[in-house]
Structure 1
């Protein structure tokens, strides 16, 4: 484990968090645009399925195309950020996502949808390694937990707003107009950050024949990959197919399903903020154990719950994943040097994207075609329990 934990900073002294907060929020806003554009695709799956006469598996498979593009982009992000400052990569990602959404809005066939989803994934994948590098550069180490907690507000707010934005858009336009409106927001945000953004004014470590073997020989790399992979899967996969599940298995209307999904996500920003505080109070091992067990049980319960009980389970399932990420990324920031972080993320997150945002949602959709979305949810919950030994070693490694 590297002993150095310094970040690129113009001053060796530690600044109050309030001075870094505006820039943390600016970076978080870019993450929000990245995530809301991605998550808006999920509530649009039902009208896409109807218009293009797709099966459950084919509809869920669109997310696999997005995940493949995302994985390829994250892998290549190490090469991009080694030649371009992270501060430039961030608006590049958000702006390209806007252009990809414009192209997707013109789709006329299922093949066009697959190409559009792939391009969206490619555009979105560039953000995360550079976003995390920029985040670590604008705040001192003692404030990393709070910075990560604020940053994690972005996906949790996106989980809430994406279904609501889709339904509001449907009052005035169709799915094509919804994508075009999101594209305009993305392009505007990218331009603002390009002009006024701060953080990440340095390049990342380039992938190479010496750096990659050393990275994958480290136990911390594999522990991070396991923890972040399962955590993202338990957060993202149920959300991505939930509208399909509620409409096709529970008999809800699309509007009611999206409203319920949005309501169940309302507490998640508070849990994201609480995650940073609880990590400091309880420690990484304990908070990860509690959240992994609770989230696994709630996902497995989706296979059996109906009606009011299902709504209650959805609230629990949505609330617990945000508790995991501050603990995981705080340890990640300690384990890897600033210049290593974008490389480590660009090598591990493609695998996470393929599994959590592609293969697992597609698997749940296939289970739906076979007659039971619940089987897919149950299998996903089992993976959370399988990850508990890694959680234990993760905590033990940090304590050492």
Structure 2
């Protein structure tokens, strides 16, 4: 890093002194993440209202994922121009504003474009948030701060279906999204006026470093494994409400409540995963996890009634434990391929 860039960075302080920055970043992350996953529990109502097929419904999630894929590729360029705080600000405003047109838009191509914007806007948050937290807080407190920030995804998976189940008792899916838009925009306004931290520029990706990492076979192994796990986790989560409602005749509120509660098993399993991994090792633990997760995902498609409910709770627990092992093993393989 150049001297000018070092001087731009803040002096790290203890976690207690910067807890407000961490909590604000975590709340922004939570709002953006819920915005992304909220469409899954609403999809049966969206599909019925727009009169679209299951494949068209799946394409909506694909467009959001494409936006989220593009985000890390351009986040460094954005933050280098407007600082990390500006990037977090833009992300919050864009997520909230992109939800407003859903109140009246019916054209599926416009909806696809809006979902790509949401994926892009939500995706640029994470790199700038991590950079802000690790620059503002002392290294010995990174674990606490990052744990607070990274609690947003599992909490989103649990709460989004429950929020949808509650609000859909009185509101249409369009008004649910408009309500969430209001919450996101109020938070964006609060961050614009009171938010602190991240007042330093990001760095444009170094092509040499990218080439070095991409040249490691272990990196691509981790990419493939992570993609498989994400498909079984976020992919199944996205289509599961639609599957339960249309194929199993489950009432939408019941389906969303069931899915929301099932995600709690993932939170619990993360703690057990560390103990199991210590006992049998990283690679055997990952192999067993992927095997059992694959079997449980297969069973989702063939089981019925109470057996289906049981496997709905088991499947996310297995995949959640995989991500913890993946992060540790990925770090180890990249250092010692």
Name the TM-score, length of structure 2 as normaliser.
0.84
Question: d(CA) in 1 for partners of 2:197 and 2:119?
Answer: 24
Report 1:114-125 matches (<5 A).
114-125=112-123
Name structure 2 gaps, 5 residues minimum.
1-5
Q: Is the 2:168–2:253 contact (alpha carbons within 8 Å) kept by the matching residues of 1?
A: no
1:10 paired with 2:11, answer yes
Report 1:150-165 matches (<5 A).
150-165=148-163
1:112 paired with 2:113, answer no
Alpha-carbon distance, 1:91 to partner:
2.4
Matched residue, 1:299: 297
Alpha-carbon distance, 1:147 to partner:
4.1
Query: Residues 278, 182 of structure 1: CA spacing in aligned structure 2 closer, same or farther, 3 A cutoff?
Result: farther
Q: Is the 2:11–2:135 contact (alpha carbons within 8 Å) kept by the matching residues of 1?
A: no
Question: d(CA) in 1 for partners of 2:49 and 2:245?
Answer: 16
Alpha-carbon distance, 1:89 to partner:
1.1
Q: Is the 2:44–2:242 contact (alpha carbons within 8 Å) kept by the matching residues of 1?
A: yes
Task: For residues 211-253 of structure 1, give each alpha carbon's deviation from its aligned partner in whole angstroms, at most 9, with x where no partner exists.
Answer: 4433423456434433432332222011000011111222212
Greater fraction helix: 2
Report 1:280-299 matches (<5 A).
285=283, 288-299=286-297
1:315 paired with 2:313, answer yes
Q: Is the 2:233–2:319 contact (alpha carbons within 8 Å) kept by the matching residues of 1?
A: yes
Task: For residues 273-332 of structure 1, give each alpha carbon's deviation from its aligned partner in whole angstroms, at most 9, with x where no partner exists.
Answer: x27965995675465445434433322221222111111111111223333444444666
Matched residue, 2:3: none
Task: For residues 140-167 of structure 1, give each alpha carbon's deviation from its aligned partner in whole angstroms, at most 9, with x where no partner exists.
Answer: 4455455444333211111121112122
Task: For residues 68-116 of structure 1, give each alpha carbon's deviation from its aligned partner in whole angstroms, at most 9, with x where no partner exists.
Answer: 2222333222211222322321221121011000122221222332222
Matched residue, 1:58: 56
Runs of 4+ in 1 over 6 A off after TM superposition: none
Question: d(CA) in 1 for partners of 2:153 and 2:94?
Answer: 19
Matched residue, 1:185: 183
1:268 paired with 2:269, answer no
Name the TM-score, length of structure 1 as normaliser.
0.72
Q: Is the 1:148–1:329 contact (alpha carbons within 8 Å) kept by the matching residues of 2?
A: no
Q: Is the 1:79–1:206 contact (alpha carbons within 8 Å) kept by the matching residues of 2?
A: yes
Structure number with higher relative contact order (C-alpha < 8 Å, ≥ 6 residues apart): 1
Choose which of 84, 91, 101 in structure 1 pairs with 2:89.
Answer: 91
Report 1:1-400 matches (<5 A).
10-11=11-12, 15=14, 21-207=19-205, 209-219=207-217, 221-272=219-270, 274=271, 278=275, 285=283, 288-329=286-327
Question: d(CA) in 2 for partners of 1:324 and 1:88?
Answer: 34
Task: For residues 110-139 of structure 1, give each alpha carbon's deviation from its aligned partner in whole angstroms, at most 9, with x where no partner exists.
Answer: 233222222222222211222232333344
Question: d(CA) in 2 for partners of 1:324 and 1:259?
Answer: 24
Question: d(CA) in 2 for partners of 1:20 and 1:297?
Answer: 44
Alpha-carbon distance, 1:270 to partner:
3.9
Query: Residues 398, 320 of structure 1: CA spacing in aligned structure 2 closer, same or farther, 3 A cutoff?
Result: farther
Matched residue pairs, number?
329
Question: d(CA) in 2 for partners of 1:24 and 1:205?
Answer: 21
Q: Is the 1:67–1:118 contact (alpha carbons within 8 Å) kept by the matching residues of 2?
A: yes
Q: Is the 1:145–1:276 contact (alpha carbons within 8 Å) kept by the matching residues of 2?
A: no
Question: d(CA) in 1 for partners of 2:223 and 2:128?
Answer: 18
Q: Provide the alpha-carbon RMSD of the alignment.
A: 3.1
Task: For residues 184-218 of structure 1, give each alpha carbon's deviation from its aligned partner in whole angstroms, at most 9, with x where no partner exists.
Answer: 11112223333444454433321355444334234
Query: Residues 253, 280 of structure 1: CA spacing in aligned structure 2 closer, same or farther, 3 A cutoff?
Result: closer
SS in 2 for 1:132: helix
